[in-house]
Amino acid sequence: MIDVPASCRRWVLASRPAPDVREDNFRLESGPVPKPGPGQFLVRTLYLSLAPVMRMYMLDGAGIEKPLEFGDTMRGRGVGEVVASRHPDFAVGDIVHGKLGWQEYSLSDGSPYFMMYKVRQRVAPFSTAIGVLGITGYTGYLGLVDIGRLKAGETVVVSGAAGGVGSICGYVARNLGCRVVGIAGSEAKCRLLVERLGYDAAINYRSEDVEARIGELCLKGVDVFFDNVGGAILDAGVAHLNRYGRVVLCGRISGYLKEDGEQYRMRNWWRIGKQRACMDAFFIYDLEHRFAAAEEQLATWIAAGRLSWQEDVLEGFEQMPRALMRLYSGDNIGKQLVRVAQPLMMLEPR
Ligand SMILES: NC(=O)c1ccc[n+]([C@@H]2O[C@H](COP(=O)([O-])OP(=O)(O)OC[C@H]3O[C@@H](n4cnc5c(N)ncnc54)[C@H](OP(=O)(O)O)[C@@H]3O)[C@@H](O)[C@H]2O)c1
């Protein structure tokens, strides 16, 4: 056991988004640091992850989690260090990632609910355990490989390309021998896609006609459209699908702030049938049996200098609500994180 302070902070749900997420949807509270009981361990949070689905956690649980009540600690994944343990498999000093919640210290019993994994690699910063070498990276890699069934020589288009998941898809597709085009919301993001994130070309959906530009940049059509945003951008991608093309429905952030009746209605859905194509949604935790293989491949590419990653890190626990809002305004570039604390026991790899 190392010294822990007497009290710590947590962000709780104070009101529901209507429809935008605002800072006053959350309240910062303080309370005593919990003590681990038998079979439990205490985690000191180092980094917390922000994800677009969190707005749905605040409303109805997104069909994934129990709806949050007012006063409940906001849910979310993070990386932390074990600072006290009465659990046989987790020792003081272990670096773990899992469901820590928006709090500086959290208890876990290591049961499946917490999806707690040990960080074993010491080659990349611990933040990558909730980025390129964690669920975000697995989503990009397994979405393309398992769901998209990507083959060398194919053409891939990725929406939300400069976000957390999208920023990984460029090099994954390139390393698998594909041509890859990204769609993002600013000139700066488009430059980054091509200069740093492995994309062959980029489309700015705010200033360009996406459907026309996909046609110009993908002269042989689109084999896989990896969609993070939904709506009109998805429709534009479907318009260019090749015979036996695949649409990977990863996310639909453009619809997350809309009510059911206001959702975008697709014009080009008939192209799916015409092209004998398919559209597959997936939930990354259903592919848990593939996480180890995904991590190994991504880490191998990183070690070989064939995969870079992009993080957008805000400093300080008090930034959590602002960091979440950045996802919906498009301010984040790469994986949005908050650094909560520096590790006490382990030097962080750089
Ligand atoms: N299927 C799964 O199991 C799974 C797992 C993880 C994540 N996801 C989903 O994958 C997607 C990407 O997740 P992430 O964590 O990496 O988030 P992210 O892409 O970093 O999300 C934020 C980005 O979304 C874009 N965006 C925001 N509003 C938009 C709109 N109305 N239209 C188009 N783009 C918009 C913005 O980029 P621009 O500036 O380019 O607009 C923003 O920077 C999300 O939809 C998430 O829910 C799914």
The pLDDT of 163-169, averaged and rounded, is: 98
Residue 1 has pLDDT above 70, yes or no: no
Per residue in 184-233, pLDDT tens?
A: 999 999 999 999 999 999 999 999 999 999 999 999 999 999 999 999 99
Q: Ligand 1: which atom is nearest the Cα of residue 257? A: 31
155 close to ligand 1 (CB < 6 Angstrom):
no
Cβ neighbour number for residue 231 with a 10 Å cutoff: 18
Read off the pLDDT band of 350 (50, 70, 90): confident
Does 253 sit in the ligand 1 pocket, CB within 6 Å? yes
Cis amide leading into 88 (omega within 30): no
Q: Which among 156, 194, 186, 195 has a CA at the least distance from the CA of 172?
A: 156
Domains of the chain, CATH where assigned: 7-131+309-339 (3.90.180.10), 135-287 (3.40.50.720)
Query: Which residue's CA is the closest to the ligand 1 atom numbered 20?
Result: 163
CB of 139 closer than 6 angstroms to any ligand 1 atom: yes
Give per-residue pLDDT as tens, 241-279: 999 999 999 999 999 878 888 999 999 999 999 999 999
Rounded distance from Cα 251 to ligand 1 centre (Å): 6
Distance 305 CA to ligand 1 centre (A): 26
For residue 68, the CA-to-ligand 1 centroid distance in Å is 22
pLDDT at 212: 98
Q: How far is the CA of 293 from the centre of ligand 1 (A)?
A: 24
90 Cα to the center of ligand 1, angstroms: 33
Residue 300: how many other CB atoms lie within 10 Å: 12
Report the pLDDT value the prediction gives residue 275, as an integer from 0 to 100: 98
Of all protein residues, whose CA lies closest to atom 9 belonging to ligand 1? 251
pLDDT in tens, 60-110: 776 777 889 999 999 999 999 999 999 999 999 999 999 999 999 999 999
Calculate how far, in angstroms, residue 336's C-alpha sits from the geometric centre of ligand 1. 10
* 3-state SS record for 132-163: CCCHHHHHHHHHHHHHCCCCCCCEEEECCCCE
d(CA 8, CA 229): 36
**Which atom of ligand 1 is nearest to 228's Cα?**
11
Ligand 1 atom nearest the C-alpha of 49 is: 15
Of the candidates 8, 130, 26, the one whose C-alpha atom is nearest the C-alpha of residue 68 is 26
pTM (2 d.p.)? 0.95
- 25 in contact with ligand 1, CB cutoff 6 A: no
Ligand 1 pocket, mutate which of 253, 325, 331 (most atoms under 8 A from CB):
253
> Which residue owns the Cα nearest ligand 1 atom 27?
328
Does ligand 1 have an atom closer than 6 angstroms to the CB of 264?
Answer: no
pLDDT tens, 30-46? Answer: 999 999 999 999 999 99
Q: For atom 19 of ligand 1, which residue has the closest CA?
A: 163
Radius of gyration of the chain (CA): 20
Mean pLDDT taken over the chain: 95
